């Protein structure tokens, strides 16, 4: 009989750990889509080819997203890399966009979490998060960093789903 290693973290424990590890706005991953989010996430995620996922990279620093205008197509798999090249934590926060996508998984410095929905993403200084997702609902959504004052310094953007 093969035993699973005792240190194996379940996704729920890992998500909880991520939530605790963040400071400020913190990273918050939902275990099931909250109200207002797209449903049928598992079916939507399994309906696309992840070997063909389109890579998109956004760099974050003080105080901007580069690029700050992002465009995605519905029904296409994406691998979004968020590189914090700054000296402080930044968040990638877009409630409207998060509600409009089906998430496959999120990879942070702490590991990979299978999660259907994003509530908030905080990327510590010098770290990189990767989000794999499928856009579902078309629309134009505001992007902002929710660290104190950052959006006022211009750390905002726009995400369009076509
Ligand atoms: Cu910021």
Give this prediction's pTM: 0.84
Chain Cα centroid distance, residue 51: 19
Q: Is residue 10 part of a domain?
A: no
CA of 145 to the centre of ligand 1 (A): 5
pLDDT of residue 25: 64
Residue 108: which domain range?
Answer: 25-161
CA of 5 to the centre of ligand 1 (A): 38
CA of 121 to the centre of ligand 1 (A): 11
pLDDT digits (tens, 9 = 90+) for 34-48: 899 999 999 999 999
pLDDT of residue 130: 98
CA of 64 to the centre of ligand 1 (A): 7
pLDDT of residue 12: 45
Number of domains forming the structure of the chain = 1
CATH code for the domain of 83? 2.60.40.420
Beta strands 69-72 and 101-108: pairing type? unpaired
Q: Is residue 3 part of a domain?
A: no
CA of 122 to the centre of ligand 1 (A): 9
pLDDT of residue 23: 42
Q: Is residue 19 part of a domain?
A: no
* Contact criterion met (CB below 8 Å) for 82 and 27: no
Please tell me the chain's helix, strand, coil percentages from 3-state DSSP, rounded to the nearest 5.
Answer: 15, 40, 45
Which tokens in the block code for residue 95? 């409630």
pLDDT of residue 4: 41
pLDDT of residue 61: 98
CA of 160 to the centre of ligand 1 (A): 20
Q: Is residue 100 part of a domain?
A: yes
Residues of the chain scoring pLDDT < 50: 1-24
């Amino acid at each position: 009989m093969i035993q699973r290693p005792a240190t194996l973290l379940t996704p729920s424990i890992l998500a909880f750990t991520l939530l605790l590890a963040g400071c400020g706005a913190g990273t918050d991953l939902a275990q099931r889509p909250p109200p207002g989010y797209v449903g049928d996430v598992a079916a939507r995620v399994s309906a696309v080819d992840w070997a063909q996922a389109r890579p998109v990279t956004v760099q974050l620093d003080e105080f901007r997203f580069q690029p700050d205008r992002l465009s995605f197509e519905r029904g296409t798999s994406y691998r979004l890399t968020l590189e914090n090249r700054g000296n402080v934590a930044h968040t990638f926060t877009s409630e409207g966009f998060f509600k409009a996508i089906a998430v496959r998984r999120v990879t942070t410095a702490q590991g990979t979490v299978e999660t259907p929905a994003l509530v908030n993403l905080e990327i510590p200084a010098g770290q990189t998060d990767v989000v794999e997702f499928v856009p579902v609902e078309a629309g134009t959504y505001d992007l902002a960093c929710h660290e104190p004052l950052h959006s006022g310094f211009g750390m905002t953007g726009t995400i369009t789903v076509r």
